[in-house]
A and B are shown apart, each in its own frame.
Chain A
């Protein structure tokens, strides 16, 4: 109906109608638990007139709302006065429907079952003693029901269900506060939306082992209070796959998004070292490292069948044998680079314009193992679980902090260390990589909290990683 309302000067138009359902269940120390249900339905309309985009979104799906959204999108595009040139590449004409696989529909699981599991995790974590100040166990479920249509003839329905859960423990002794997260860290304060997520059903939450690991995680938080500080030194760094997920995200994911390379993020997060003229020649890391984006990995949080322009999910090589080789693109930015879209246009709900977004950014596994890396290290630091990070606007200089660290001495894991950070710049860090874990250690970590764009959009994505060892890295507090 909406596409039929478009005037004749519209060169291209597409519409996405999206219903997003979100359920969050959260249990804290000494609390009865909390439940949150979110439901959002609306549409976003994008038109191209005179080579200029106009986008409008509305929650009003009545005739007046639809008329208004057409008028606003067309008005925005026309206001630019034409003169633009957008190359969209091959038309998208797919007609299909797809539902992401799951074993147990999380929205059909009784609330009491969810509360019982989380309460048991909190109870286990509370056994770590009185220095435990805060425990938060949570699970979140999302369902996006999306219909996409464009003026080229595409009509695609997709339903994606995501599930995740996690645990956070804060311990304090009056002088210090330390945090432990499980299965992975979330570098922010939001309640819930913690842990590991997947494009899957309730079975994913059951597989996380929240209850089984809760006591250990809480004990680690308490132990960190009296652990020695990470020393300031240049040393060998071994990072767990969980930790490398976020490094890969910042060092390869964002910099290799084509919109960033073409300057459209300059006013926000910034630019990138991965400029078009460096593609195919820039040495990003040692020859043992290759990285790719892949939206076809079953169950991974960044997977789908079609992106938000109707382009099929695919695998895209980003780094091959240490050389930066490719970009993640949408139709527009692929066209600007003389390429075809790699299917990475994604929008955060109906109300946002699709942006070039990561899907699942993965390291190809190597030939070593965490055990071998440690055994082969005379002196170094082992770190895991991200606590926070900062990276500059060109995605070069970074500093990461981890929740956990351990000394490595003469091939063995030694004392627990707190407040471990490491800093470097992207090509130096990945250029110091000398070992990567093998296929047995490769795991996808689902992250539901990647921020980008203005207005801000939050993307759900995955990172397939293995442990890695890096030489001569500056570590410290």
Chain B
């Protein structure tokens, strides 16, 4: 842990009552490659100290790259001055206090990432490149992250954890076609790098290119594609503030069916199948939050401000100050329960339809209607009678996520650990979508 508790306590004392500190010590090491050549290697170290002071309904915030006492005093002077300039706010709504007694969940720290060595990343790169052979061009990145986190406040809360993460993205290109694999784990030694060339070669299978099909058909979303759907759906509709203010498509529908019966979705920051972390940006312990059970909406995720929607206890989904995806609580560690079908069985059930490996640039057009648009990418196939028969041209889908969630007729047995820029982890299997909501243009 690169963050000293004594320095944190000192900073809290300088900043005064009503202060919360959210501190990140970031260590990132990255190897990037394109066209089978190494293009960049990074090693980035930074300390981000975010302070927020809430007093008498007024709120100010600031950030620094140091816990040096003089620098903290400088920030404190500015924040205290700003507090005195702000008009008095309305009476603050009652929020539950930080639960100091709840123990901080213990997250396993991986020595394989802590002892990061550029040579290991080069070995990974060589393994994948050489395994693909010279006819296939490899692009992507290998990244190791060590994140020291502390959330502490002037009421005495102090939570600390170290999170390790290793990830590899490999995009293989051959003859104008591409396929991708992305694997990640808190422990680099648990990533099966040796399997990646085989998976990519399999995805680059030498099938003919078929003419674009049009209209509605069944669509098999492989885990990377299902990741985009489930993450975007969760982000758009399953946060407590969106629910409470009526901006969510499922507002007012707790206890009602909002998705197909096969859908069981939860958020659990401590589940090792995802990328676990123990507490959120307010220091709330992450708790398992059931969201959809047999397609019925049973919960949302909350922070302290919206804890009343989750039994008065925040689920541990407060986002950091200044987060570029908003200030409302949103899911962070989604897990979609596996089904019983193998991918071959899902393909057989798909019959004649589209198989999508990746949904890219999925963007919300209308949150209340869950209307989104995005494109397929990196290996889109056409299937006939349950067999892959050809590469299908990349295409754009515009659809209502709620319609797709209600049209899920098959759930794979094998889940993959994925991530998103706006979500720490998403664990999903393949999903078979019935003909209807996904229309090929």
Residues of A within 8 A of B (CB): 30-42, 52-60, 68-69, 72-73, 75-77, 79-81, 84, 110-112, 115, 133-134, 170, 172, 174-177, 187-191, 262-267, 270, 351-353, 387-393, 397, 399, 401, 419, 421, 423, 454-456, 458, 477
Contact = CB atoms under 8 A, between A and B. Distances in A.
B41 A77 contact: yes
B366 interface: yes
B61 A353 contact: no
A393 B323 contact: no
Given A392-B360, A392-B375, A397-B396, A190 B324 contact: yes
B116 to A, nearest CB: 10
Contact of B62 (A30, A37, A175, A263): A37
B74 to A, nearest CB: 8
A115 B84 CA distance: 12
Given A72-B45, A80-B38, 4 more contacts: A35-B82, A59-B66, A270-B377, A397-B396
B86 A33 contact: yes
A38 B62 contact: yes
Contacts of A59: 45-47, 65-66
Interface stretch (B52-60, B98-106, B265-273): B52-60
Contacts of B34: 262-267
B322 A393 contact: no
B75 A75 contact: no
Nearest to A39: B64
B436 interface: no
13 contacts: A32-B87, A35-B60, A36-B60, A36-B321, A37-B62, A40-B63, A68-B45, A72-B43, A79-B118, A267-B171, A388-B365, A390-B362, A454-B30
Contacts of A401: 365-366
Contacts of A172: 246-247
A443 B70 CA distance: 44
B34 to A, nearest CB: 4
Contacts of B63: 36-40
B245 A133 contact: yes
Contacts of B40: 53, 55, 264, 353
A387 B363 CA distance: 11
A265 B85 CA distance: 46
A133 B241 CA distance: 13
B41 A267 contact: no
A425 to B, nearest CB: 9
Nearest to A264: B34
A477 B370 CA distance: 13
A37 B41 contact: no
B43 A57 contact: yes
Given A36-B321, A39-B64, A41-B65, A388 B363 contact: yes
Interface string B24-60: 0000111010110111111111110000000001111
A353 B368 CA distance: 38
Contacts of B43: 54-57, 72-73, 75-76
A140 to B, nearest CB: 11
Contacts of A34: 59-61, 86
A395 to B, nearest CB: 10
B38 A177 contact: no
B283 interface: no
| Most chain A beta carbons < 10 A, residue from B169, B363, B395 | B363
Interface residues of B, number: 84
Given A172-B246, A267-B169, A388-B363, A33 B45 contact: no
Given A266-B34, A399-B398, A60 B45 contact: yes
Given A56-B42, A393-B361, A397-B375, A174 B60 contact: no
A57 B46 CA distance: 8
Contacts of B85: 35, 110-112, 115
B367 interface: yes
B139 A456 contact: no
A60 B68 CA distance: 11
A191 B326 contact: yes
A390 B361 contact: yes
A58 B64 contact: no
Contacts of A455: 28, 30, 42, 44
B341 interface: no
B398 A32 contact: no
Contacts of A60: 45
The 6 closest A-B pairs by CB, nearest first: A189-B326, A79-B118, A32-B89, A76-B41, A266-B139, A72-B43
B149 interface: no
A265 B87 CA distance: 47
Contacts of B361: 390-393
B88 A58 contact: no
B207 to A, nearest CB: 20
Interface in B71-123: 71, 75, 78-79, 81-82, 85-90, 118-119, 121-122
Nearest to B143: A454
B352 interface: no
Contacts of A353: 40, 42
B179 to A, nearest CB: 12
Contact of A399 (B60, B139, B396): B396
A415 B30 CA distance: 53
B374 interface: yes
| Most chain B beta carbons < 10 A, residue from A40, A52, A58, A267 | A267
Given A172-B246, A190-B326, A454-B141, A39 B363 contact: no
B62 A36 contact: yes
Contacts of A177: 246-247, 367-368
B390 to A, nearest CB: 20
Interface in B150-181: 169-171, 173, 178, 180
A111 B78 CA distance: 11
B377 A267 contact: no
B364 interface: yes
Interface in B326-347: 326-328
Contacts of A39: 62-65, 71, 75
Contacts of B377: 270, 392-393
Contact of A188 (B59, B180, B325): B325
B44 A57 contact: yes
Contact of B87 (A33, A69, A458): A33
B46 A389 contact: no
A239 to B, nearest CB: 17
Nearest to A454: B141
B317 to A, nearest CB: 15
A296 to B, nearest CB: 28
B81 to A, nearest CB: 8
Nearest to B90: A30
B119 A79 contact: yes
A41 B87 CA distance: 31
Contacts of A133: 245-246
A256 B371 CA distance: 30
B421 interface: yes
B79 A37 contact: yes
Contact of A264 (B32, B71, B78, B371): B32
Contacts of B141: 267, 454
B41 to A, nearest CB: 4
| Most chain A beta carbons < 10 A, residue from B65, B121, B363 | B65
B246 A174 contact: yes
| Most chain B beta carbons < 10 A, residue from A134, A265, A399 | A399
Nearest to A76: B41
Given A390-B362, A391-B361, A36 B88 contact: no
A201 to B, nearest CB: 20
Nearest to A419: B366
Nearest to B182: A267
B88 A32 contact: yes
B363 A389 contact: yes
B394 interface: yes
A267 B38 CA distance: 13
Contacts of A58: 44-46
B295 interface: no
Nearest to B26: A351
